[in-house]
Structure 1
Amino acid sequence: MSVPLRIALIASARFPVREPFAGGLEAHTWTLAKTLSDRGHHVELFAAPGSDPALGVRELPVHRPVLSTAARADISMPDAWWMAEHHAYLQLMLYLARDGRERFHVVHNNSLHHLPVAMASTLRQPVVTTLHTPPTPWLESAVQAQDDCPVTFAAVSAHTAAAWHATAPAARVVRNGVDTRMWAPGPGGPYLVWSGRLVREKGAHLAAEAARQAGMPLRLAGPIGDRRYFAEHLAPLLGDDISYEGHLDRHALARLVGGAAAALVTPCWDEPYGLVVAEALACGTPVCGFDRGALGEILTPDCGRLAPADDAAALAALIPEVVRLDRRAARERAERFCSLDTMADQYTWLYEELVA
């Protein structure tokens, strides 16, 4: 067994890291923190207020700084949330620069904020940053502002690594893993399932159109991230054959996914990874999705099909093929390619390499 490491894990300040998860980033952070802790490492998670206390959380101080009247009147003053988030990460990085050397072997930045990268040179221990999104101007600027950026980057897919190649050419691919014990094989059933944040870029309305064209019922699950989108584009589609099951915790969601004949995955943007694909496969549920982003890295003909982007009719035409695929093949793909143990091994090896 590896020597126990002391790891500072920096989460996003946007949403608490707790169930039911706001999105894939929070689910991934929770899973990584718990798995590393279960392996005997000491993980201190810096996360938004309200995060799961069982993870050993230190709350990020996400509050507005006390600004003078003159500062607040400045026409360049950003909005309140931007300022609160900036203040939280600035305080955290100053704390790590001051006291982190004695407390941690490695700092793992799992947030989307630029300051942990921009201020990495102030720390005396190695810094790992996971790239969860396409390139952003703030993060590219943080890297380019340093003659020799000391951060080691990991990308959640080969697609994401390629997108970041100009800025982080040495990024290693460490795919997000799912707990194949918790996401257990299900029996399948007579309906289709779609899960994720209910926002336009996830394309749940296209899944509803495809399911209806294919003549199969669809169950939707996830947090409503955009209430206007839900009201205007999804609510009118709901009925006996298309239902919204709510924002479910992992166990309820796993039962729903495992009871489906197939999972529809309909991103309207280039998905950097696609955690819902891995979750469905772990439940033995084959996937029918759009060929966007990293989905083609995860799926094989044994466990899924991909339609051209944004084409609900083409997706509907593939559904009869997908529901006939072998559920055992889907499960085996998850175990081999996107398991939690594989992800945790790769991050542990990376930490040990950098610390050594």
Structure 2
Amino acid sequence: MNSRSAPPKLKILILSTPVGALGSGLGGGVELTIANLARELRSRGHAIDIIAPTGSELGDLSIIQIPGELQLTAQTQEQAASIVMPGDPVLANMWAKARSIEHHYDIIFNTAFDWLPFYLTPFFDRPIAHFVSMGSQIAAIDLAINRVAIDFPGTIGVCTRTQAETFSFADLCCVVGGNGVDPAVYDYCETPEDSLAWLGRISPEKALEDAVAAADRTGIKLKIMGKIQDPLYWDKIQRDYPHAPIEYLGFLPTHELQQSLRTCRGMLMTPRWVEAFGNVAIEALACGVPIIAYRRGGPAEIITDGKTGFLVEPDSVEGLIAAIDRLDEIDRADCRHAAETVFSQSAWGNLVESWFYQLLDRKHAK
């Protein structure tokens, strides 16, 4: 773009995750990512449309509803898994729709962590900004992303450097951040109650059982919020810790979530895998809630150890318990300040908007 003139307003088409309808919780953090980014870019004057599975809802955002069967989530599959498509795949249907209307837009923003969008990239005329929201999970998908990273430089965006380093093509990735929150949506709480929080999809890679074990041993109530993605896993946790002081509040919309979260002394993050980012971390910071997390993946790049929370040895319940004892050392105002500055929706919008303009510059230079 010409630096001497104001950058143009863009028409942006966002392609959603194919693992669940937006608003269902099945898409995990990608759902909040899409909602926050779409609203931020719209506030800057850009035109935004979203293609997503039928049943998707994101308030007043424009969604093109696409029918079809949902995809399997990548994190539930093995590294050597083959590419699987159902008989009437919503993923293929979404991208067929995108292909038919692409010329109405300047750029396409892909959030699907799946093989097909990367394979289709050469067949699109408009540049595709691929937002990769997970680390390496399936070798076949890694290979597809790698090819795009080489053939279409600058189009692979990741949340954190830690996430990028799970791929062999880390140096070809652009770190564009994982999300940003609107602090006005979250109420700051200076004087919490004696409780802890755990937020996320309830599935084995999130290791909720470690947080429950810490609550069981400290006797501090643990509020659990999130979609039960694996009911058998959730049932086992309840059987293994029948007397733990836990309360399951369900999958909550943001305004209800933050009301329960804000009053907690701290939030536990216990991922067994490499989290790409950690949307729940910046939501907690916006409420002034310190975070205790395993020193693994994205949370290690979000939390300032000793200032906005504590980073502990991965998979160590003892480490969680020791950090819980130190929560009063954290100034909750520092947590809120981080959300208002480094992890604000506006700051993230700047990063993504700049990425889009760079891709368009490269396209026009050809």
With normalisation by structure 1, the TM-score equals 0.87
8 A contact 1:198–1:226 mirrored in 2: yes
8 A contact 1:97–1:123 mirrored in 2: yes
8 A contact 1:206–1:266 mirrored in 2: yes
2:91 to 83, 86, 89: 89
Counterpart residue number, 2:320: 315
CA-to-partner distance for each residue in 1:155-210, whole Å, 9 max, x for gaps? 11111122235266242332321222112312421111111111111111110111
Counterpart residue number, 1:188: 192
Runs of 5+ unmatched residues, structure 2: 1-5, 71-81, 362-366
The within-5 A match list for 1:72-87 is 82-85=86-89
The reply on whether 1:171 has 2:174 as its aligned counterpart is: yes
Runs of 5+ unmatched residues, structure 1: 65-76
Q: CA deviation at 1:2?
A: 4.7
Counterpart residue number, 2:12: 7
- Name the SS for the 2:341 alignment partner: helix
CA-to-partner distance for each residue in 1:205-232, whole Å, 9 max, x for gaps? 1101112222322111111111001111
1:60 to 49, 56, 66: 66
CA-to-partner distance for each residue in 1:53-89, whole Å, 9 max, x for gaps? 622111233249xxxxxxxxxxxx987x64433xx33
- Name the SS for the 1:271 alignment partner: coil
The reply on whether 1:158 has 2:161 as its aligned counterpart is: yes
- Name the SS for the 1:184 alignment partner: coil
2:268 to 264, 268, 272: 264
Q: Partners in 2 of 1:20 and 1:225 — Cα distance?
A: 9
Q: Partners in 1 of 2:228 and 2:338 — Cα distance?
A: 30
8 A contact 2:69–2:88 mirrored in 1: yes
Q: Partners in 1 of 2:139 and 2:169 — Cα distance?
A: 13
1:335 to 333, 340, 348: 340
Q: Partners in 1 of 2:360 and 2:109 — Cα distance?
A: 12
Q: CA deviation at 1:48?
A: 1.3
8 A contact 2:19–2:27 mirrored in 1: no
Report sequence identity in percent.
24
The one-letter code of the counterpart of 1:350 is: W
The one-letter code of the counterpart of 2:19 is: R
Counterpart residue number, 1:139: 141
Q: Judging changes above 3 Å, is the alpha-carbon distance between structure 1 residues 126 and 299 closer, same or farther for their aligned structure 2 residues?
A: same
Counterpart residue number, 2:77: none
8 A contact 1:261–1:286 mirrored in 2: yes
8 A contact 1:278–1:334 mirrored in 2: yes
Q: CA deviation at 1:32?
A: 1.4
Counterpart residue number, 1:51: 56
Q: CA deviation at 1:151?
A: 6.2
Q: CA deviation at 1:20?
A: 5.7
Q: Partners in 1 of 2:188 and 2:267 — Cα distance?
A: 14
Q: Partners in 1 of 2:322 and 2:69 — Cα distance?
A: 50
The reply on whether 1:278 has 2:282 as its aligned counterpart is: yes
Alignment size in residue pairs: 340
Q: CA deviation at 1:100?
A: 1.2
8 A contact 1:131–1:160 mirrored in 2: no
Q: Judging changes above 3 Å, is the alpha-carbon distance between structure 1 residues 154 and 291 closer, same or farther for their aligned structure 2 residues?
A: same
With normalisation by structure 2, the TM-score equals 0.85
